[in-house]
Structure 1
């Protein structure tokens, strides 16, 4: 079994457990899978393949699962093997300290591994941060000049 298959099974087992605990009967043809499909906007096939451990959900899909099942998104990423336990703990501590994520930390949390995508996204994030800082500076200047 490949690492990805094992991760898909791990994710399916965890999501089956938390969905059942949330009150969904996710056994085949019991209605819980259809309810989850309707609530998440994912297809019934995607829900079934995910719960059966045949398909590894994307991080963006896990965000939807977390919202519907009222779960902590980071915990869900850890439990489904998208980020390691230590990573989840560091991120939880970072959130408590309100420190911003670096572009690399954000891409790691989102599961973006392709080097070309990472380079492109990192440049875009850095540019967006600079633009925001410029806007914030000009707002502060206007507030000072307008208040004088």
Structure 2
């Protein structure tokens, strides 16, 4: 079950992540039954603290990126997939990162300044001027090559 985050995106819940992690560990031979030793063995294999592993499997851990990276490395799963499973990213956000939308028309220096949040009039003028200078150098080089300075 996914929930909406503050930006309205569908994200996995901590319970979803716990169920996903249990499936991943059991698929790799970790015995998660009481006294099965799987949690302890996974904690040792991954370098993640036993308490953190236990909390993740109970759906109680607010996981850190470092822990998720260790989990991905140990399970040999791309970090991006773990981030989706953990509810850090939605599938849609991951898709947007993997396949960013291409602009049909390049943006103007003014639009770039807007997107970058440059609002100070002097800094904005410097940014636009520098961008125009670099665009002119690129045009003078031809073939879309960037000028070597």
Deviation string 1:109-128 (CA, Å, 9 cap, x unpaired) is: xxxxxxxxxxxxxxxxxxxx
Gapped regions of structure 2 (runs ≥ 5): 6-11, 101-147
Q: 1:43 aligns with which of 25, 41, 49?
A: 49
Q: Map Cα deviations across residues 54-106 of structure 1 (whole Å, 9 max, x no partner).
A: 21322221110011011111011112211111111122235xxxxxxxxxxxx
The DSSP-based 3-state class of the residue aligned with 1:17 is: helix
Please state which structure has a larger fraction of its residues in helix.
1
Q: Extract unaligned runs of 5+ from structure 1.
A: 95-139, 142-148
* TM, length-normalised to structure 1: 0.55
Match of 2:59 among 37, 43, 53: 53
Which has the larger Rg? 2
Number of residue-to-residue matches in the alignment: 93
Per residue, is there more strand in 1 or in 2? Answer: 2
Asked if 2 retains the 8 angstrom alpha-carbon contact of 1:59 and 1:82, the reply is: no
What RMSD in Å do the two structures reach over aligned CA positions?
Answer: 2.3
1:91 matched residue in structure 2: 97
Is the contact made by 1:11 and 1:56 (CA closer than 8 Å) also made in structure 2?
Answer: no
Distance in 1 between residues matched to 2:76 and 2:53, nearest whole Å:
17
TM-score by length of 2: 0.55
Distance (whole Å) between structure 2 residues aligned to residue 66 and residue 26 of structure 1? 19
Q: Is the 8 A contact 1:8 1:57 kept in 2?
A: no
Query: How does 1:16-31 map onto structure 2 within 5 Å?
Result: 16-31=22-37
